């Protein structure tokens, strides 16, 4: 096993035990990037001299924290004081923030090394970026956290930051066969992160294991994770959601396979039907996202800059400006009602299982995939973690996600560690 194939926790332990140096780990990551970047194109900015200087400094220090010497990829809508932050837009070409985002500062505080900035779609929205799926470059890696998902899946870096407004952590992680974790809304500090829709946007992580997602919880909360006790037979709700009709056969097969494996592993399973009106939440999510995005990008929408948006982005912003405050407030009321009703359902379950995406990663780079199965957790502010389960007809990963109760992030992560073993 080469150093870049280690998990983040394995690498940190090896560095702390002087069995591996941070320089060796960074050099292995850079070698992998050199080999794969021309095809995968996961990185927006790399500064080899800078990261090797950081690695040499870490090797001279007593370990600062649980991420000491470990590289992290940062989605390029998250500020870094020593690297450009360009938001996937020509409006911000060469932009250099004055300070680090909170999550970047917390990574450095824990001894981590910012390896570089990963490719994002334009303002973390829908137009596809250039990154390709490392498992089959003819397919999308998903979006908008495309670069982070591809880099983690390809062993270029063990951890990548993603952000989710609709499905931009869970979906690309699923398409690339990784673990995507979106915490409860507001759990991770978002200072220094470019906000698209402030009532929805959530910082998340993409890793190759649940254990590394838990490690990042410790880093971002700046404290140890104390997992709550779990029942011997956790109860999982099989939730087909009101959008099951959009699940492809591969997603349906993965859902059934996961159910069989969990039943065999001793989990209690029950079918859950969400209230029928939840079908309208897709539209309420759209209203909130487009209304807030237009107003959050008022600077970028000024006449002298608006033409620098892609046509897709221009159309989305125009739709957002046409939405009225009354429409927006009605959507926020539906959001609050949905949160309450889902919270009542969650009192009976350790988690709800849903598809992570309609199927495997679509072919081509014309689409990043549909977030139809991700909007509920984003809108209703509940934590979600996506795990790979099986492969689709093109041989690409297909996964399921587990949604927990609002605020029960550690319970969900602890459960996910057991689920991961059962689904392997």
Calpha distance 299→291 (Å, rounded): 15
DSSP structural state of residue 280: G
**Cβ–Cβ under 8 Å, residues 113 and 54:** yes
Q: With 0.95 as the threshold, say if the pTM is over it.
A: yes
- How many domains does the chain fold into? 1
Task: Evaluate whether residue 110 is within a structural domain.
Answer: yes
Do residues 415 and 384 touch, judged by C-beta distance below 8 A? no
CATH number, domain with residue 184 = 3.90.1300.10
Of the candidates 282, 281, 310, the one whose C-alpha atom is nearest the C-alpha of residue 297 is: 310
Query: CA-CA distance, 282 to 371, in Å (whole number)?
Result: 10
The residues that bridge with 43 in the sheet, in sequence order, are 118
- Per-residue confidence (pLDDT) for residue 126, from 0 to 100: 82
Is 299 a member of any domain? no
pLDDT at residue 413 in the model:
98
189 alpha carbon, distance to own chain's centre: 15
Contact 234, 267 (CB under 8 A): yes
- Give the pLDDT confidence score for residue 292 in this predicted structure: 98
In terms of residue numbers, what domain contains 44?
3-221
- pLDDT tens column, 23-71: 999 999 999 999 999 999 999 999 999 999 999 999 999 999 999 999 9
In a domain, 277, yes or no: no
Q: What is the pLDDT of residue 321?
A: 97
How far is residue 102's CA from residue 119's CA, in Å, rounded to a whole number?
Answer: 20
Q: Is residue 273 part of a domain?
A: no
Q: Is the peptide bond between 334 and the residue preceding it cis, with omega within 30 degrees of 0?
A: no
Q: What is the CA radius of gyration of the chain?
A: 20
Query: Is 323 among the domain residues?
Result: no
Active site residue 144: yes
Please list, in sequence order, all residues whose beta carbon lies within 8 angstroms of the beta carbon of residue 331, skipping any fewer than 6 positions away.
283, 284, 285, 287, 288, 291
User: Looking at 29, 75, 125, 199, which residue is catalytic?
Assistant: 75
Q: What tens digit of pLDDT does each residue of 205-235 get?
A: 999 999 999 999 999 999 999 999 999 999 9
Asked, for residue 9, whether it belongs to a domain, the answer is: yes
Catalytic residue among 29, 89, 126, 144: 144
> What's the count of helices (H) and strands (E) in the chain, helices before strands?
14, 11
Q: Is the dihedral of CA 125, 130, 131, 133 positive or negative?
A: positive
Q: Report if residue 30 sits inside a domain.
A: yes
17 is a domain residue: yes
Given the residues 89, 125, 146, 168, the one annotated as active site: 168
Q: Which helix (H) or strand (E) holds 44?
A: strand 43-46
Based on the residue annotation, tell me whether 19 is a catalytic residue of this protein.
no
Q: Which position has the token pair 């209304």?
A: 291
Q: In 3D, which of 339, 218, 235 has the Cα closest to residue 281?
A: 339
With beta carbons less than 8 A apart as the criterion, state whether 94 and 44 touch.
Answer: no
Q: Which residues of the chain have pLDDT under 50?
A: none
Least Cα distance to 195 among 185, 208, 210, 209 occurs for 185
Number of Cβ atoms within 10 Å of the Cβ of 109: 13
Contact between 353 and 258 under an 8 Å Cβ cutoff? The reply is: yes
117 is catalytic: no
């Amino acid at each position: 096993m080469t150093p870049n194939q280690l998990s983040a926790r394995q690498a940190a332990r090896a560095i702390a035990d002087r069995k591996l140096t941070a320089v060796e780990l960074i050099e292995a990551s850079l070698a992998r990037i050199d080999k794969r970047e021309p095809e995968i194109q996961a990185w927006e900015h790399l500064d080899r001299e800078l990261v090797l200087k950081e690695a040499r400094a870490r090797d001279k220090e007593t370990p600062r924290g649980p991420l000491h010497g470990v590289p992290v990829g940062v989605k390029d809508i998250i500020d870094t004081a020593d690297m450009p932050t360009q938001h996937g837009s020509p409006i911000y070409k060469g932009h250099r923030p004055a300070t680090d985002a909170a999550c970047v500062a917390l990574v450095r505080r824990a001894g981590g090394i910012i390896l570089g900035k990963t490719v994002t779609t334009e303002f973390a929205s829908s137009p596809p970026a250039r990154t390709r799926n490392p498992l089959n470059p003819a397919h999308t890696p998903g979006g908008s956290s495309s670069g982070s998902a591809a880099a983690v899946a390809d062993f270029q870096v063990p951890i990548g930051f993603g952000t989710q407004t609709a499905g931009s952590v869970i979906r690309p992680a699923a398409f690339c066969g990784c673990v995507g974790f979106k915490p409860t809304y507001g759990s991770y500090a978002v200072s220094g992160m470019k906000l698209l829709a402030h009532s929805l946007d959530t910082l998340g992580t993409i890793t190759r294991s649940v254990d590394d997602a838990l490690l990042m919880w410790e880093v971002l909360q700046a404290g140890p994770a104390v997992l709550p006790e779990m029942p011997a037979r956790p109860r999982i709700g099989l939730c087909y959601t009101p959008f099951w009709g959009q699940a492809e056969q591969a997603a349906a097969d993965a859902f059934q396979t996961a159910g069989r494996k969990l039943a065999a592993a001793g989990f209690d399973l029950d079918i859950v039907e969400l209230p029928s009106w939840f079908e309208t939440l897709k539209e309420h999510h759209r209203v909130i996202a487009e209304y807030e995005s237009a107003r959050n990008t008022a600077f970028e929408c000024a006449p002298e800059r608006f033409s620098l948006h892609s046509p897709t982005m221009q159309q989305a912003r125009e739709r957002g400006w046409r939405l009225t405050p009354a429409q927006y407030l009605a959507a926020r009321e539906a959001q609050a009602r949905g949160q309450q009703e889902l919270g009542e359902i969650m009192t009976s379950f350790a988690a709800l299982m849903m598809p992570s995406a309609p199927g495997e990663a679509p072919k081509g780079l014309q689409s990043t995939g549909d977030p139809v199965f991700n909007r509920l957790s984003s809108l209703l502010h509940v934590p979600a973690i996506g795990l790979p389960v099986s492969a689709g007809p093109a041989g690409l990963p297909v996964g399921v996600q587990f949604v927990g109760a609002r605020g029960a992030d550690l319970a969900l992560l602890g459960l996910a560690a057991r689920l991961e073993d059962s689904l392997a």
